[in-house]
């Protein structure tokens, strides 16, 4: 049977495969060595078990894939020597190995649970751009499986490696192939895929994969359930997230601090702080200690809602129960006060964090700069930029946005434009808000030619302008007797993003 004929269907497809008979595991074989081949294998094996690498060197010219495989088969119970021999061959003859020889060492290593070495080899193989290589590797492993007296761990290792490499389609292909032959990944490997998917915000596939896990009777653990809760929270489906949270106990899985924190984060993100606080109380009643994430999540939620007094109360409570605030704690508060126009309080918190040895990062400095610039305090913002330089932190798009905003607040369109050009030169990319404040500033100063130039640069970078900004520019042109240009410009914007 050729692997190319095997099903390569999507993981999200029908579960009919679960009901059909499993495919038989093929009995891969290789001919027995005879004559000179047999002599070579025996002599090489003898040199290896006696650590006679110099004598083995003399034999290297006579080594070929057939002989290598038989030497490895004789060594398979000694994974250390097998791996040393594999690496020695790889060093002497870099182009010598093929998928069949790779698969044999993978069997040896996984049977002895040397998964780190296994994954290193698999990553090196899978980084090749060869088409459908993951299926070809699966085939090579499958056909040498019985020959090497292997363990199902080898397939699990392949699936997990693909998950860590974030090769999602290849991982789901491999999952389907494993099911065809009656091999199922461990829940730890399933968690690795779900975690990778969550990092790319592919919550739809996370939930579909979780349903597949349940169909396959793979028992989830608390990490699995936490990711499912997180997925529902990211979708904004807090009702379903809470159901999953309550279902955990009936499954024999007890919520952890991370379980509570995930759900608290979901409620806080939606501004439902009272529900988040109830969960915090429930957490304490169940004997689980709040941690820095619990408090940071609540502080962030309050700051997002502009409730800085409540956020500060949580901050004080956090310190009273001897949970030290970290960079994330301070960043949330500094950003919150800066957004509300209280840059002085933001700077006071910054000094507080330095006093207690909490390291400021680029987010801290950006929040401070934005706070000062929002109030037109560009000199104080410039002072913070110098501090940023002292810490060897590189300004990013958010830094430039704040500085440009500060100059626009002072109606200094020329300086704002200089900062914009510096931003481009530094490799930072302006977003719609940055372009918007620049165009608006030039319109206010009736410098329509530069405003049009900025808009056209924006269109050239495929950044969609805010309709209010386009209207401001076109209305300004109309009121200044350039109605034809205003119509032309609006048509130009529409044509750029049409279809």
Answer yes or no: is pLDDT of 63 > 60.
Answer: yes
pLDDT band at 432 (very low <50, low <70, confident <90, very high): very high
Answer yes or no: is pLDDT of 14 > 50.
Answer: no
User: What average pLDDT score do residues 170-178 get?
Assistant: 96
Residue closest to 400 by CA, chosen among 434, 362, 436: 434
pLDDT over 70 for what percent of the chain?
96
pLDDT of residue 498: 65
Cα 318 from Cα 174, distance rounded (Å): 46
Answer yes or no: is pLDDT of 11 > 70.
Answer: no
- Give 194-217 pLDDT, tens digit per residue: 999 999 999 999 999 999 999 999
Domain that holds residue 476: 432-499
Structure token pair of residue 439:
């165009």
User: What average pLDDT score do residues 53-69 get?
Assistant: 89
Structure token pair of residue 54:
């110099």
Answer yes or no: is pLDDT of 499 > 60.
Answer: no
Number of domain units in the chain: 1
Structure token pair of residue 353:
């964090």
Which pTM does this prediction carry? 0.84
User: What average pLDDT score do residues 2-26 get?
Assistant: 52
- Give 112-147 pLDDT, tens digit per residue: 999 999 999 999 999 987 788 999 999 999 999 999
pLDDT of residue 333: 97
Answer yes or no: is pLDDT of 8 > 60.
Answer: no
Residue closest to 453 by CA, chosen among 421, 483, 479, 480: 421
pLDDT of residue 18: 47
Decide if 440 is inside a domain.
Answer: yes
Per the prediction, the chain carries an average pLDDT of 91
Answer yes or no: is pLDDT of 400 > 60.
Answer: yes
pLDDT over 90 for what percent of the chain?
74
C-alpha triplet 405, 424, 465: angle, nearest 5°: 60
Cα 87 from Cα 91, distance rounded (Å): 6
Structure token pair of residue 38:
């047999």
Answer yes or no: is pLDDT of 40 > 90.
Answer: yes
Cα 171 from Cα 161, distance rounded (Å): 8
Decide if 370 is inside a domain.
Answer: no
Range in 226-235, 337-346, 354-363, 457-466 the model is least confident about: 457-466
pLDDT band at 20 (very low <50, low <70, confident <90, very high): low
pLDDT band at 60 (very low <50, low <70, confident <90, very high): confident
Decide if 342 is inside a domain.
Answer: no
Answer yes or no: is pLDDT of 6 > 70.
Answer: no
Range in 17-26, 93-102, 228-237 the model is least confident about: 17-26
User: What average pLDDT score do residues 65-75 get?
Assistant: 91
Residue 478 belongs to domain with CATH number:
1.25.40
Answer yes or no: is pLDDT of 415 > 90.
Answer: yes
pLDDT band at 9 (very low <50, low <70, confident <90, very high): very low
Decide if 452 is inside a domain.
Answer: yes
Answer yes or no: is pLDDT of 2 > 50.
Answer: no
- Give 215-238 pLDDT, tens digit per residue: 999 999 999 999 999 999 999 999
Answer yes or no: is pLDDT of 308 > 50.
Answer: yes
Decide if 480 is inside a domain.
Answer: yes
Cα 75 from Cα 463, distance rounded (Å): 61
> H or E stretch including 225?
helix 222-235
Are the C-beta atoms of residues 402 and 366 closer than 8 Å to each other?
yes
User: What average pLDDT score do residues 400-423 get?
Assistant: 92
User: What average pLDDT score do residues 83-87 get?
Assistant: 94
Decide if 438 is inside a domain.
Answer: yes
Residue 165, CA distances (Å) to 129, 154, 398 in order: 14, 17, 30
Answer yes or no: is pLDDT of 5 > 50.
Answer: no
Decide if 439 is inside a domain.
Answer: yes
Decide if 459 is inside a domain.
Answer: yes
């Amino acid at each position: 049977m050729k692997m190319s004929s095997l099903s390569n269907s999507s993981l999200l497809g029908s579960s009919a495969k679960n009901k059909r008979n499993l495919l038989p595991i093929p009995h891969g074989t290789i001919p027995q060595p005879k004559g000179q081949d047999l002599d070579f294998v025996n002599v090489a094996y003898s040199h290896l078990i006696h650590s006679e690498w110099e004598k083995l060197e003399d034999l290297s010219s006579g080594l070929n894939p057939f002989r290598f495989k038989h030497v490895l088969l004789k060594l398979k119970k000694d994974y250390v020597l097998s791996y040393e021999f594999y690496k020695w061959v790889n060093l002497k003859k870099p182009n010598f190995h093929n998928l069949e020889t790779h698969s044999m060492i993978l069997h040896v290593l996984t049977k002895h649970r040397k998964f780190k070495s296994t994954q290193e080899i698999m990553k090196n193989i899978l980084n090749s751009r060869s088409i459908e290589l993951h299926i070809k590797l699966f085939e090579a492993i499958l056909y040498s499986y019985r020959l090497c007296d292997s363990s199902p761990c080898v397939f699990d290792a392949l699936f997990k490696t693909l998950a860590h490499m974030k090769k999602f389609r290849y991982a789901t292909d491999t999952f389907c192939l494993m099911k065809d032959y009656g091999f199922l990944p461990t829940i730890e490997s399933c968690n690795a895929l779900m975690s990778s998917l969550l990092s790319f915000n592919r919550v739809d596939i996370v939930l579909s994969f979780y349903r597949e896990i349940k169909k396959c009777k793979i028992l989830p653990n608390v990490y699995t359930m936490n990711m499912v809760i997180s997925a529902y929270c990211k979708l904004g489906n807090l009702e379903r997230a809470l159901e999953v949270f309550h279902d955990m106990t009936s499954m024999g899985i007890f919520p952890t601090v991370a379980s509570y924190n995930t759900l608290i984060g979901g409620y806080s993100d939606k501004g439902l702080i009272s529900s988040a606080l109830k969960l915090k109380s429930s957490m304490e009643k169940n004997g689980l200690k709040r941690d820095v994430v619990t408090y940071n999540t609540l502080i962030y939620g309050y700051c997002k809602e502009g409730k800085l007094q409540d956020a500060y109360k949580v901050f004080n409570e956090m310190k009273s129960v001897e949970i030290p605030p970290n960079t994330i704690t301070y960043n949330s508060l500094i950003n919150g006060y800066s957004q509300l126009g209280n840059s002085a309080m933001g700077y006071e918190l910054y000094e507080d964090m330095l006093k207690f040895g909490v390291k400021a990062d680029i987010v801290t400095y950006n929040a401070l700069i934005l706070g000062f610039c929002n109030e037109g305090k560009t000199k104080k913002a410039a002072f913070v930029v110098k501090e940023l330089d002292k810490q060897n932190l590189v300004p990013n798009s958010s830094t430039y946005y704040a500085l440009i905003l500060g100059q626009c607040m002072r109606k200094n369109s020329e300086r704002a434009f200089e900062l914009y050009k510096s931003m481009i030169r530094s490799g930072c990319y302006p977003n719609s808000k940055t372009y918007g404040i620049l165009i608006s500033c030039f319109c206010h100063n009736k410098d329509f030619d530069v405003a049009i130039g900025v808009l056209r640069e924006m269109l050239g970078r495929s950044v969609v302008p805010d309709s209010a900004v386009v209207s401001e520019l076109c209305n300004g042109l109309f009121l200044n007797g350039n109605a034809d240009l205003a119509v032309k410009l609006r048509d130009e914007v529409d044509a750029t993003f049409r279809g």
